Amino acid sequence: MTAAGCQSSQGRQSQPAVVRDLGRQPYEPVWRAMQRFTDQRDEDTADELWVVEHDPVFTLGQAGKPEHVLAPGDIPVVKVDRGGQVTYHGPGQIVVYPLLRLPRLGIGVRDYVCRIEQAIIDTLAEWNIGAERQDGAPGVYVGGAKVAALGIRVRRGCTFHGLAFNVAMDLEPFRRINPCGYQGLQVTTMVDLGGPSGMAAVKPVLLDNLARQFGLHLQPSSTQPDLSA
Active site residues: 180
> Is 163 annotated as ligand-binding?
yes
CB-CB contact of 57 with 86 (8 Å): no
* 82 appears as a binding residue in the annotation: yes
Q: Does the annotation place 189 within a ligand binding site?
A: no
Listed residue (82, 106, 115, 158) closest to 5, CA to CA: 115
Is residue 208 within 8 Å of 8, Cβ to Cβ? no
227 annotated ligand binder: no
Do 84 and 61 form a contact (C-beta atoms < 8 A)?
Answer: yes
Q: How many whole angstroms separate alpha carbon 93 and alpha carbon 206? A: 12
Closest CA to 87 of 29, 195, 21, 171: 171
Name the strand (E) or helix (H) holding 205: helix 199-214
Q: Is 149 annotated as a binding residue?
A: yes
DSSP string, 16-57: EEEEEEEEEE-HHHHHHHHHHHHHH--TTSPEEEEEEEEPSE
Q: Is 210 annotated for ligand binding?
A: no
Indicate the Cα dihedral angle 24, 186, 63, 50, nearest 10°: 30
Distance of CA 204 to the CA centre of its chain: 15
Q: Any known ligand binding at 85? A: yes
Residue 86 annotated as part of some ligand binding site: yes
Q: Does the annotation place 84 within a ligand binding site?
A: yes
Are residues 123 and 168 in contact, defined by beta-carbon separation less than 8 angstroms?
A: no
Establish whether 217 is an annotated binding residue: no
State the binding site for substrate: 82-89, 149-151, 162-164
State the binding site: 82-89, 149-151, 162-164
